[in-house]
Amino acid sequence: EYSAISCRAHSASITEYGGVGDGATLNTKAFQDAVNQLSRQYGSNGGAQLVVPAGRWLTGSFNLTNHFTLYLHRDAVLLASQDINEWPIIDPLPSYGRGRDAPGGRYISLIFGSNLTDVVVTGDNGTIDGQGALWWQQFHRKKLKHTRPYLIEIMHSDNIQISNLTLVNSPSWNIHPVYSSNIVVQGITIIAPVTSPNTDGINPDSCTNTRIEDCYIVSGDDCVAVKSGWDEYGIAYGMPTKQLIIRRLTCISPYSATIALGSEMSGGIQDVRAEDIVAINTESGIRIKTAVGRGGYVKDIYVRGMTLHTMKWVFKMNGDYGSHADNNYDPNALPVIQGINYRDIVAENVTMAARLEGISGDSFTGICISNVTIGMANKAKKVPWTCTDVEGITSNVTPPPCQLLADQGPQKMCDFPKESLPIGTTVFQKCSYSTMKYL
């Protein structure tokens, strides 16, 4: 049994479509044939699930379909093909205007879907192995003509579940829901070398009503990065990320953030609620990244209950992140950063409590930090807080914050919304598949 937003009336194994799980046979056609045939037969009649049994299943990219479940057995490993020809080029995201690694198009993700509804990618903790070393090498050698693929990308879709899987060695980002709504990402383990480039964990991008929970992420970039488009392209597309829950996340990322907001936030980010977060040996606890030219906003951000150990910074805000899509950004497009609430945080072995840098003439406002205890490392910076172009208040924070964040005495508690978001109460069904038939 497993939990899902929808159960399916019909089930089939990839072996019925010619799949061979020997780690050497290429199964791209088998996967795409299976999805297409199941869609035709059952798409409008109870939906279908495709079961991937134990084995090592080498495949290139394939597209999902509506009312569909992809289920990975605990001993199933999807191996991403190392033949670059197995990865078609698709258009850049309209809210980015170009690829992240190179101008122009991008390689399609390993598991991809667009304009879909009611899709589940799950398993009994089966594995998706991106075999990313080849791509990381090409990136470092500046040999890439297009942007690296992600492991799972779902675009323009609604009612999506990605759960109970282990993702390893992604070429770039791991999970990327974009221009989508009503998304649950749950029980995911993500592992990549901490030096691997841009192996972000989970990046909700211009999405509404998203829930990320019970995930364990070790990566070379931000464990969760909240995004909504890049400079003038993101401003023009105008689709924010809002109503986002992040809870029970464990992160290890020595060179990046536990949770990052931005830097591509030009469509706006609003109403993010993060709680019960653990990070170890990670660069920062929560980070806001933006720049002149981004426009957009980051507002109504609520974080409570973080436990952090061995950090460079607990809080970081950068108004000078740079990194522009091109030189056509509007220098008058200033981001609005306001209503940032952090509370109930304990950190140990910290190099610097906070580095908060707004934009001159565009201060980051409405910052509230309360009930925070930061134990400094033996080799900590002499000045634990640095603040420029920020405004706000603090209460019961150790070591004492900078003067721009005026101490309100011990009674003030920063906000965290009491009412729940719709996605926070999604009801799951108990689903099953016939084990005798496939395993």
Q: For residues 163 and 185, what is the distance between their CA atoms, to the nearest angstrom?
A: 6
Q: 84: closest CA among 159, 155, 147? A: 147
Report the distance separating Cα 392 and Cα 370, nearest Å.
11
For the chain, how many residues are written? 439
For residue 204, give Cα distances in angstroms to 3, 81, 115.
22, 25, 16
Catalytic annotation, pick one of 118, 200, 221, 344:
221
Q: What are the b/e assignments for 338-354, b being 16+ CB within 10 Å?
A: bbbbbbbbebebbbbbb
Amino acid 321: pLDDT? 96
- Please compute, for residue 251, the number of CA atoms within 13 A of its CA located in the half-sphere on the CB side: 39
pLDDT of residue 2: 96
pLDDT value of position 436: 43
Residue 180, CA atoms < 13 Å, CB-side half-sphere: 29
CA–CA dist 57, 115 (Å, integer): 26
Q: Residue 296 carries which DSSP code? A: S
Residue for token digits 């005026």?
406
Residue 97 tokens, joined: 């205007």
| Separation CA 438–CA 248 (nearest Å) | 33
Q: What is each CA distance from 73 to 13, 18, 105, 432, in whole angstroms?
A: 11, 18, 33, 12
Distance CA 423, CA 349 (A): 35
Q: For position 433, what pLDDT does the model report?
A: 78
Which of 244, 193, 252 shows the shortest CA–CA distance to 222? 252
Q: Tell me the two tokens of residue 22.
A: 């020997």
- Coil/strand/helix, residue 236: helix
In this prediction, residue 434 carries a pLDDT of: 66
- Three-class SS state of 232: helix
101 flagged as catalytic: no
Tokens linked to 293: 């030219």
Contact of 337 with 307, CB cutoff 8 Å:
no
Q: Which residue has the tokens 């390893």?
A: 168
Are the C-beta atoms of residues 191 and 220 closer than 8 Å to each other?
no
Walking along the chain (439 residues) 10 residues at a time, the average pLDDT comes out as 96 98 98 98 95 98 98 98 95 98 97 98 98 98 97 98 99 99 98 98 99 98 98 98 98 98 98 98 98 98 98 98 96 98 98 98 98 97 96 98 95 95 95 62
Show the 3-state SS of 75-138. Answer: CEEEEECCCHHHCCEECCCCCCCCCCCCCCCEECCCEEEECCEEEEEEECCEEEECCCHHHHHH
CA distance 229 to 216: 26
Residues 6 or more apart whose Cβ sits within 8 Å of residue 93: 106, 178, 205, 229
C-alpha dihedral, 248 to 252 to 257 to 259, nearest 10°: -10
